[in-house]
Amino acid sequence: MNKVVVVGAGNWGKNLIKNFHELHALAGVVEIKPDLRQTVASNYQNLQIYSDYREVLETDISAIVFATPASTHYSLAKAALGAGKDVFLEKPMTLLTQEAIELAQYADQHDLILMVGHLLLYQPAIAWIRNHLISGQAGKVLHIMAQRTRLGRTCSDKNVWWSFAPHDISVVLDLLNNPNLQAIQANGLAMIQPHIADNVHVDLIFESGQTSHIYVSWYHPQLQRSTTIIAERQMITYDEVMQRVTVYEKSIDTNLQQIDAKAWIADIATTQPLQLECEHFLECLNTRQQPRSNGWNGVAVVDILEKAQEVMCC
């Protein structure tokens, strides 16, 4: 089995370390902070720990997982790919679309695996919705609404749009079968720090005629993570907090009459999405298949992030 080195043992990196270790695929950890290195050493006996990721580039380890600040993703991934390593990058892939394109192209040209940590694409509930929509039972999807709010830890180097929205953008693109973007509208409010948006509304219009609205906030009294799909014959809600998918037999017919029948709750697997995501990366390393959230998926998400930022008021 191929093994990986995880770079970054902070808030999210520690979860990746735990999952790859449980999958018997963790070869080492890179962490620049001495206190975090000590924590890793205490939790994982006999594990190789590095203070500089460049040390790993000289080893025979075939894959590197980066859980570092987004501003470092481009330079770190470029160096790892240049050293012939397969790469897993946490979201967002980069902060510039052109940088994301460069990484995706390099990976393709050199037959390397490049995967982006769009975790929700590996959530069993999203997989269920994807398959349900593919079956045609719901009819054509017309609109997707996504909401992600909480009173959370704010950042000084990025706004809530870049922090929260990659999850929902990746899901919208996936459920709509990767449509081409036609137009985008965005509005952001900076309530805590100047020029750092805490509350963002974005509307996406696709060439297919389908639309989406994404609302994200880290200055909100309630924890809300939900997705609503409006289709021709059904409406579907996904409550990410409760892990519940509800299908509503609701629609408006061609005579503008309401159809309001039963609602039912889908039977969803309980496997943790991070475990599935890590397993998928390892499978791709072994089979050389393209990941579901490959480099080009990352490019599409960063492109929307960047375009919305360009038209946002703050």
Provide the pLDDT for residue 153: 79
Provide the pLDDT for residue 314: 67
Superfamily of domain 121-272+304-311: Dihydrodipicolinate Reductase; domain 2 (3.30.360.10)
3-state SS of the chain?
A: CCCEEEECCCCCHHHHHHHHHHCCCEEEEECCCHHHHHHHHHHCCCCEEECCCHHHHCCCCCEEEECCCHHHHHHHHHHHHHCCCEEEEECCCCCCHHHHHHHHHHHHHCCCCEEEECHHHHCHHHHHHHHHHHHCCCCCEEEEEEEEEEECCCCCCCCHHHHHHHHHHHHHHHHCCCCCEEEEEEEEECCCECCECCEEEEEEEECCCCEEEEEEECEEEEEEEEEEEEECCCEEEEECCCCEEEEEEEEECCCCCEEEEEEEECCCCCCCHHHHHHHHHHHHHHHCCCCCCEHHHHHHHHHHHHHHHHHCCC
The model scores a pTM over 0.85: yes
CATH 3.30.360.10 residue ranges of the chain are 121-272+304-311
Taking the domain 4-118+274-293, which CATH number applies?
A: 3.40.50.720
Provide the pLDDT for residue 246: 98
CATH 3.40.50.720 residue ranges of the chain are 4-118+274-293
pLDDT in tens, the chain (314 residues): 789 999 999 999 999 999 999 999 999 999 999 999 999 999 999 999 999 999 999 999 999 999 999 999 999 999 999 999 999 999 999 999 999 999 999 999 999 999 999 999 999 999 999 999 999 999 999 999 999 999 987 887 789 999 999 999 999 999 999 999 999 999 999 999 999 999 999 999 999 999 999 999 999 999 999 999 999 999 999 999 999 999 999 888 888 888 888 999 999 988 999 999 999 999 999 999 999 999 999 999 999 999 999 999 76
